[in-house]
Amino acid sequence: MNPPQHQIQVEVETAYLEEQSEPAEQRFVFAYTITLRNSGRVPAKLLTRHWIITDANGRIQEVRGEGVVGEHPHLRPGQGFRYSSGAVLETPVGSMQGSYQMLADDGARFDAPIPVFRLAKPGTLH
């Protein structure tokens, strides 16, 4: 069975940055590392990103922007790209999800969904 023409897999790892956080000031800092892999059959370039960041109070931040970490990675089939970034929440628990908008070499535009992932300070039950 052939892989789909346009498909980007997204994997996420997260970490709580205690040394940058100030819980008394409702400032909780998290790092996340994203690995993108082109599991389709056509090379594709990442154009933009769209994030939905939700904290435990239900406060939602939407972030849209060009590329990731100043880059527009162009991924051939089987190729991966890894980068790290961060988020600041007012609560010790939250979540992120979103999508990357991609342009394939054959001219097709498609979204690569970023599955919801949790940001949580260790030892925080939710």
pLDDT tens readout for residues 54-110:
999 999 999 999 999 999 999 999 999 999 999 999 999 999 999 999 999 999 999
Domain range enclosing 24: 8-115
Asked whether residue 123 is domain-assigned, the answer is no
Asked whether residue 124 is domain-assigned, the answer is no
> Is the pLDDT higher at 1 or at 55?
55
Q: Please state, in angstroms and rounded to a whole number, the distance separating the CA atoms of residues 51 and 71.
A: 17
- Average pLDDT value for residue range 37-59: 97
Residue 51 belongs to domain with CATH number: 2.60.40.1470
H or E element that contains 91: none
pLDDT at 1 over 70: no
Output the pTM of the full model.
0.91
pLDDT at 126 over 60: no
With beta carbons less than 8 A apart as the criterion, state whether 78 and 118 touch: no
With beta carbons less than 8 A apart as the criterion, state whether 23 and 85 touch: no
Q: Please state, in angstroms and rounded to a whole number, the distance separating the CA atoms of residues 86 and 17.
A: 9
Tokens of 12: 């996420």
